Structure 1
């Protein structure tokens, strides 16, 4: 069995994240991670006529950028796993159509990056592909038009509101490196290509609905789901927060961060020292009027590319739990008075070099 406990997957041959690319808009470029993104576009329209076309262009450019960085032609990509926030995931369908590769369109709201990485890892570990491309995106203006108010309306935003990130992240995920055998013929480890981070485990989340109806408070909607998935992962794997250099959620922001720490504390886990949130890291609370922080499918994707993977590759971190979170609402469900369910998917990312005492693989 490749399953541990209630929900956690353990990959026999942990897939590698060979390379990544992050494309963002001007506001994201002005934030703390601005110099680490691959491209910062000063024109949020990216030369297009509509906000939706601009978001599709983000995906196109992110996918092109990672393929160019890795020196891999699109024909070598077996499958695409991609999604966005828009109805019928149109940013993805129009943005990636030109690559002419088989595609799985995904929707997990802002948790889609976690979903894409988990499905990519399952596909690769199962031997169904050699290389896949995982892509997500979001755009502030296209999301505002669909879920909240047109920008021309000029409505006030409560302090609990998050700012949808304009950005796209793309990742080439590959089958594991060559197996290193000892003298007896047993596999003693894996020789990882160029120290690339590897996906060793994953804990998919379930839908958690606490009855919150405030669509301007995504943190409160998603924090219970993050708590459920993280607790499930800890119980399944017999680990605790201090076993990770960081536990990084996707889009909880400042409000959701406080709720998550409190909820996990009630379950006996101290998250205060290890918890980070992509929505907090991407913007400067003091300089940028983003209120509770960032959100959107592109938020955790670009932070993963610009901040998390580099720290795994340079040795700053050895092991992190990456937990993108999503709020599963639509404009229809909100207008019909429905609550906003949450979901979170956890992915274990480990430093690329095989460490002393690491698990031994057997064929």
Structure 2
């Protein structure tokens, strides 16, 4: 009997893979936020001793991966595969991280949806017997992202109220076929959706339709409702995208009362100058590994839906006047292997 059963866009596991270890690393802005005490490591200087922002992000990733390996009591040589990505052109932050690590590597680009994509793929491979231990890794760096997608920091441009602050953060988790929880119960890989948003400073609106559709497809495939979960995390819609997500789901007669957004969890939008909230591939990755997985491990949460949302544009498509497509991948997590049966 196969361990994975597919219904629609959702893959459910009979024998759920486990997340055996996880770690979260952040920078200066994250050290000033409400989750600061939950991070494994925080830096007061976002250069991390490197000469460029891009090198600093690779160093951030390596610290995060090393911490996860240490907590999982394993070496890089014990990894069958590393699935990871970032926001830099051609995933160079992760590529340069992996050149120092002797382990098989599959680079991913899902923009801010990368962490759920990596974890979902790792779970499928573990459940299918293809890996005995895989690492899911994602990061972003505010300064590197601003230079690539918008304007260099020295330009001093004023940020719009709908803009979101790219997290200088990374999250990493190790996924194995067996072991103590938390567990990956199911995965729904999202479809690309385009709401015809062309404003590069309004990522939340661009990603919200994809998040809404992935939630609806998961519920249709499984027969579960959001109310059956302790929380539904999205990452990272911010103020604007969160409002739009709830409006879209209300039209489908779905009330998302237990919703939490990673972009509004990582930072305090009332006291930190982050405009509409946080974003970046490292945003949902760090919230997952600093807050969600520890709460599941301690039994503070029992069942959670975790979505990472991504805006699939580039600086070139933006300059060409293209709209911004979005995608959202969903992972169902539980504290116990039998939760939700």
TM-score category of the 2 structures, normalised to the smaller one:
over 0.9
Match of 1:264 in 2: 249
1:153 alignment partner, one of 141, 155, 159 = 155
Aligned counterparts, 1:102-181, within 5 A: 102-177=104-179
Contact conserved, 2:183 with 2:337, CA < 8 A, in 1? no
Determine if the alignment matches structure 1 residue 232 to structure 2 residue 217: yes
Q: Does 1:345 align with 2:309?
A: no
Q: Deviations over 1:70-128 (max 9, x none)?
A: 21111111100000011110000001221110110000000000100111011101101
Do residues 247 (structure 1) and 206 (structure 2) align? no
Aligned residue number for residue 304 of structure 1: 288
Separation of aligned partners in 2, 1:3 and 1:206: 19
Aligned to 2:72: 70
TM-score, L = length of structure 2: 0.97
Deviation at 1:229, TM superposition (A): 0.4
Q: CA deviation at 1:3?
A: 3.8
Query: Per-residue deviation at 1:131?
Result: 0.5
Give the Cα separation in 2 of the matches to 1:171 and 1:234.
26
Distance 1:211 1:3 in 2: 34
CA distance in 2, matches of 1:152, 1:352: 49
Structure 2 counterparts to residues 58-97 of structure 1, below 5 A: 58-97=60-99
CA distance in 1, matches of 2:8, 2:172: 30
**Residue-by-residue CA offset, 1:24-51 (whole Å, 9 max, x unaligned):** 0011110000011000101100000000
Uncovered stretches (5+) of structure 2, i.e. residues with no partner: none
CA distance in 1, matches of 2:134, 2:227: 32
Query: Residue 198 in 1 paired to residue 183 in 2?
Result: yes
**Inter-partner Cα distance in structure 2 for 1:83 and 1:90:** 8
Relative to structure 2, which stretch is displaced further, 251-260 or 311-320?
A: 311-320
- Give a deviation string over 1:138-191, Cα, whole Å, max 9, x none: 0000000000010000101111100000011111111124xxxxxxxxxxxxxx
Q: Does 2:39 align with 1:55?
A: no
Partner of 1:25: 27
The aligned residue for residue 190 of structure 1 is none
Does the CA contact (< 8 Å) of 1:5 and 1:235 recur in 2?
no
- Structure 1's unaligned 5+ residue stretches are 178-192
Say if 2:239 and 2:276, in contact at 8 Å, map to a contact too: yes
Q: How many residues align?
A: 339
Per the TM alignment, residue 353 of structure 1 is displaced from its structure 2 partner at its CA by 5.6
Following superposition, the deviation at residue 321 of structure 1 comes to 0.4
1:223 aligns with 2:208: yes
The answer on whether the counterparts of 1:4 and 1:237 sit within 8 Å (CA) in structure 2 is no
2:236 aligned counterpart, secondary structure: coil
Shift of 1:352: 3.0
Q: Distance in 2 between matches of 1:3 and 1:208?
A: 25
Match of 2:18 in 1: 16
- Is the CA contact 1:6–1:236 (under 8 Å) kept in the aligned structure 2? yes
* Match for residue 260 of structure 2 among 248, 271, 276: 276
Instruction: Name the SS of the counterpart of 2:112 in structure 1.
Output: coil
Q: Which protein shows a greater Rg? A: 1
**1:4-34 CA-partner distances (Å, limit 9, x unpaired):** 4320001132111111111100111100000
Match of 2:276 in 1: 292
Tell me the TM-score normalized by structure 1. Answer: 0.92
Contact 1:59–1:96 (8 Å) recurs in 2: no
